[in-house]
Amino acid sequence: MNPTTTTAGGADTAAVRRAIASTERPPRPGRLSTALTFGWRGMLKVKHVPEQLVDVTITPVMFVLMFTYLFGGAIAGSTSAYLQYILPGMLVMSVLFTTVYSGISLNTDLTKGVVDRFRSLPIWRPAPLLGSLLGDSVRYVVAGTVIIVLGVALGYRPEGGAVGALAALALVVVFSFGLSWVFSVLGLLLRSPNAVMNSGFMAIFPLTFLSNVFVDPTTLPGPLEAFVDVNPISILATASRSLMQGQPDGTAIVVSLAVAAGLAAVFLPITTRLYRSR
């Protein structure tokens, strides 16, 4: 071994240690700033892979056009009349379907080892998890905005005006944030992103179609009508319709917020515990 090299290496090491010791340690990031940073990470992923927005742009447009112009005449007598009924429901459906992506994204990070890297950082432990869901909330806003803009372009006119439409969108986003914790649990329990996607849609599809999103419950058989009336998605659709019509249904709004809070209260601790143990 060359003693000159060893001496030089030791001198370099000593210089680095002196530089580190003489530099003030930067403050540890706060919980909110860390969570927002990870939320921004989710936005950057969309920037680099724009195809991720297909499910919040093209898919909702296809649903609105298909149901309005294929079934509108048969169900409501005209496409314009059916559009006035279905659009708030499609707002609910499109945004709720997007919540499945929260579990898929979390499972992808887990299976690729990204979560292990996050755990090695000197940050608030739940920050990556919370930040990811905050970033997904932007996707909910995009999906809801696409539906409202498309509806207005097709002739939908919310009697509640822009304020009513924005209030309905805000309510759906809050509910979706609560529901996203359910799919986060799936994302941590299942082994692959495809399994999360299949399980998530298998759960949310029946609940969405067995609701008042597409048809008036009074036209359904008695037992089915009873189920639809208590379905949380039906209650959320009713609240959204009432806000967009300028006649807020206080009971439906409060129940929707309570369900969202209940889902978060139950599944947030479960998600956090699974996140720490996986």
**What percentage of the chain carries pLDDT values higher than 90?**
43
- Taking only the tens place, the pLDDT of each residue in 69-101 is 988 888 888 888 899 999 999 999 989 998 998
- Ranges 16-20, 241-245, 252-256: which has the least confidence: 16-20
**Three-class HEC string of the chain:** CCHHHHHHHHHHHHHHHHHHHHCCCCCCCCHHHHHHHHHHHHHHHHHHCHHHHHHHHHHHHHHHHHHHHHHHHHHHCCHHHHHHHHHHHHHHHHHHHHCHHHHHHHHHHHHCCHHHHHHCCCCCCCHHHHHHHHHHHHHHHHHHHHHHHHHHHHCCCCCCHHHHHHHHHHHHHHHHHHHHHHHHHHHHHCCCHHHHHHHHHHHHHHHHHCCCCCCCHHHCCHHHHHHHHHCHHHHHHHHHHHHHCCCCCHHHHHHHHHHHHHHHHHHHHHHHHHHHHC
Question: What does the pLDDT average to over 37-63?
Answer: 75
Above 50 in pLDDT, residue 6?
Answer: no
Above 80 in pLDDT, residue 42?
Answer: no
- Taking only the tens place, the pLDDT of each residue in 175-206 is 999 999 999 999 989 988 899 999 999 999 89
**What percentage of the chain carries pLDDT values higher than 70?**
86
pLDDT band of 13, cuts 50, 70, 90: confident
Averaged confidence pLDDT in the chain: 85
